[in-house]
């Protein structure tokens, strides 16, 4: 890749994959590779792609290769929604492969990103035998749209721009498509924020690279992976928990348990995991809400006729409009007479 790149060391970006049609990719699970929709033709059986894993030098004989069996192409690609992503299923897992977690929140769609690939090293140049890496700056949607007429139809919710805006000189290029754009998350681990998608030439001033906005499609990617029999690594989650018991009065006022979140930059995830453990002799009596730091309330569970005891569930909340840091509250109310219980513990995973 890249105009302006330097060689990456073997093992530096262990989840990087080279695909035989001339694209990049990243290990989503041991048997699934995340790439770009425009790198593949359609959803369906496909045994024509070879994935190369585990090397920086494509000629390194220690490389691991796998043939594809199936391709899932984003159904929203080439629609107004956008979504230049696809998943390739390998014939067998690469056991022990390093996986790159995908961003489930827009919190990391900012700052400086790293890109890597074996694509062209200059516009119209040839592909690279060695994996190259570079750093590119986040460019906001409005600046990107106005950078050059080429970018006028940017889809802000589906695409992220990055590059060296005024000077150019650093960019992904043909053959890098499908590869990841990534950065460090709140706990210092790599997280994938983009997929190399397109651009006007390569590394020209005022012509940034355009990347699939991974956080927007995280839920769809996870669902597609599940349908293909895989579970992507969750981003290295920070867990915030309260294990103090709180009694729930019978048909009484709501009670609260607090969890204070700190050190998480930006907003909460679009799939915030809320783990709840409540001991109660009749779970249908209980109504549960999550209250965000600003007081916004998300209903987790309504009352019902269910006589099943206890609640032991992880709820998923789209909390992407909430700032992560602050005091979150679990609000629990028993709304029917007879039967009581207590909040045993609950936790938020960011």
Q: Which residues are catalytic?
A: 38, 84, 177
Q: Whose Cβ is closer to ligand ARG: residue 168's or residue 341's?
A: 168
Q: Which is nearer to ligand ARG, 200 or 313 (CB)?
A: 200
In whole angstroms, give the CA distance from residue 200 to residue 47. Answer: 32
Tell me the chain's radius of gyration from C-alpha atoms: 23
Would you tell me which residues interact with ligand ARG (CB under 6 A)? Answer: 119, 171-177, 196, 198-199, 202, 209
The per-residue b/e assignment along 312-325, b for 16 or more CB within 10 angstroms, e otherwise, is eeebebebbebbbb
Q: Which residue is nearest to ligand ARG (CB)?
A: 199
- Cβ proximity to ligand ARG, 105 vs 128, nearer residue: 128
Tell me which DSSP letter residue 46 carries.
-
Q: Is 18 helix (H, G, I), strand (E, B) or coil?
A: strand
Q: Is the dihedral of CA 122, 123, 129, 133 positive or negative?
A: positive
User: What letter would DSSP give residue 267?
Assistant: B
Residue in 271, 273, 298 with CA at minimum distance from that of residue 287: 298
Considering the complex, state which of residue 172 and residue 333 has its C-beta at the smaller distance from ligand ARG. 172
Which sign, positive or negative, has the C-alpha torsion 146, 265, 83, 76?
negative
Q: Which two tokens stand for residue 111?
A: 């700052």
Distance CA 274, CA 85 (A): 28
Which is closer to ligand ARG, CB of 192 or CB of 270? 192
CB of 203 to ligand ARG, least distance (A): 7
φ/ψ region of 263 (left if φ > 0, alpha if ψ in -120 to 50, else beta) reads left
Question: What's the closest the beta carbon of residue 51 comes to ligand ARG, in angstroms?
Answer: 16
Check: CB of residue 6 under 8 Å from CB of residue 17.
no
Tokens 């390194």 correspond to what residue? 60
Q: In angstroms, what is the minimal distance from the CB of 115 to ligand ARG? A: 8
Q: How far apart are CA 285 and CA 297, in angstroms?
A: 19
The nearer residue to ligand ARG, 23 or 32, going by C-beta atoms, is 23
Question: Taking the complex as a whole, how short is the minimal distance between the CB of residue 77 and ligand ARG, in angstroms?
Answer: 13
288-305 in b/e form (b: 16+ CB < 10 A) is bbbbbbeeeebebbeeee
């Amino acid at each position: 890749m890249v105009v302006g790149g330097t060689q990456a060391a073997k093992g530096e970006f262990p989840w990087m994959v080279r695909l035989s049609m001339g694209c990049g990719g990243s290990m989503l699970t041991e048997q699934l590779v995340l790439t770009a929709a425009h790198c593949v033709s359609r959803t369906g059986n496909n045994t024509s792609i070879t994935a190369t894993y585990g090397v920086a030098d494509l000629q390194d004989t220690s490389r691991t290769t796998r043939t594809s069996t199936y391709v899932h192409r984003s159904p929203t690609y080439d629609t107004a929604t956008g979504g230049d992503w696809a998943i390739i299923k390998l014939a067998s897992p690469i056991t022990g492969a390093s996986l790159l977690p995908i961003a489930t929140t827009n919190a990391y769609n900012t700052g400086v990103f790293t890109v890597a690939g074996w694509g062209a090293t200059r516009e119209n140049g040839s592909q690279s035998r060695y994996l190259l890496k570079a750093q590119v700056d986040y460019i906001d949607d409005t600046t990107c749209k106005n950078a050059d007429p080429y970018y006028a139809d940017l889809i802000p919710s589906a695409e992220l721009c990055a590059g060296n805006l005024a000077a150019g000189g650093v960019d992904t290029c043909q053959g890098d498509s499908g590869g990841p754009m990534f950065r460090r998350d709140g706990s210092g681990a790599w997280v994938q924020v983009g997929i190399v998608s397109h651009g006007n030439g390569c590394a020209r001033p005022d012509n940034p690279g355009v990347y699939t906005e991974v956080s927007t499609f995280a839920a769809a990617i996870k669902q597609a992976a599940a349908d293909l029999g895989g579970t992507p690594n969750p981003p290295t989650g920070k867990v915030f928990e309260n294990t103090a018991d709180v009694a729930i009065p019978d048909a009484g006022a709501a009670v609260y348990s607090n969890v204070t979140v700190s050190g998480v930059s930006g907003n909460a995830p679009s799939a915030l995991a809320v783990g709840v453990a409540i001991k109660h002799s009749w779970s249908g009596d209980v109504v549960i809400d999550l209250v965000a730091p600003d007081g916004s309330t998300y209903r987790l569970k309504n009352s019902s006729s269910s006589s099943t005891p206890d609640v032991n569930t992880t709820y998923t909340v789209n909390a992407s409009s909430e700032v992560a840091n602050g005091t979150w509250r679990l609000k629990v109310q028993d709304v029917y007479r007879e039967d009581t219980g207590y909040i045993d513990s609950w936790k938020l995973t960011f």
